[in-house]
Amino acid sequence: MATIHKNLSDYDKQTIPNAKDFRFGIVVSEWNPTITENLFQGAFDTLKEHGAINDNIVRWNVPGSFELVYGCKRMTTCYDMLDAIIAIGVVIQGETKHFDFVCEGVTQGIKDLNIQGDIPVLFCVLTDDNLQQSIDRSGGKHGNKGTEAAIAAIKMAQLRKESKF
C-alpha cells in the first residue's frame, strides 16, 4: 500500500461514468477537522466534476471516526435511494492504543456495512503516523484521498446499477 511516490488523485477522467443520475451520501468525522474538510471538499468537487448535482449529495457530520459506522448505517436506513456513501475520517497515531482500536473499529465496521447492506460504503479514512502524512494526502503532495474515494464511489454506483436485474 505504499503511496510515497504516488499521487493518489491521478486517474483517467475519460474512463469514469457520468454521475448525473446518482445520489451520494458523505459522512464526515469532526476529529482533525481541517483535514477532514479538505477530504470532503476533494470528494464533493470530484463528484460535481463528473456530473453529480448538489441536491443529490447529502452530508452528515459525526464526532469521530469511530462514529462513522453508525452514521453510515443510519444514512443507509434514512436515505435508501442513495447509490453510494463515502465515509471520511482521519486517525493519527498517538501515545496510546486508541489509534489501533479506532482504526480496527471503523475498518471492520465499514466492511460489515458493505457485506450486510445494499449500498456501497467507501472507505476514505486516513490512518497516519503523523499530521504531515495526513496533510500530504488531503490535498498535498500525494493528492487528495477524498478525490480517490469519490471516483471509487461513482464506479461502485455504476456497478450496482449494472448488476441489478
Active site residues: 98
- The number of beta carbons lying within 10 Å of the beta carbon of residue 129 is 10
All 3 cell numbers of residue 152?
471509487
Taking the C-alpha atoms of residue 14 and residue 143, their distance in angstroms, rounded to an integer, is 19
Min CB(23)–ligand DLZ separation in Å: 26
Min CB(131)–ligand DLZ separation in Å: 10
Q: Which residue has the cell 483517467?
A: 12
The nearer residue to ligand DLZ, 20 or 98, going by C-beta atoms, is: 98
Residues of this chain, 43-102, that bind ligand DLZ according to CB under 6 A: 63-67, 89-92, 94, 98, 102
The nearer residue to ligand DLZ, 44 or 66, going by C-beta atoms, is: 66
Residue closest to ligand DLZ (Cβ): 64
Taking the C-alpha atoms of residue 23 and residue 48, their distance in angstroms, rounded to an integer, is 11
> Which 3-state string (H, E, C) describes 31-63?
CCHHHHHHHHHHHHHHHHHCCCCHHHEEEEEEC
Min CB(19)–ligand DLZ separation in Å: 27
Min CB(17)–ligand DLZ separation in Å: 31
Distance of CA 65 to the CA centre of its chain: 11
Residues of this chain, 21-40, that bind ligand DLZ according to CB under 6 A: 29, 31-32
DSSP one-letter code for 10: -
Total residues contacting ligand DLZ (rule CB under 6 A)?
15
What residues line the site for ligand DLZ (CB under 6 A)? Answer: 29, 31-32, 63-67, 89-92, 94, 98, 102
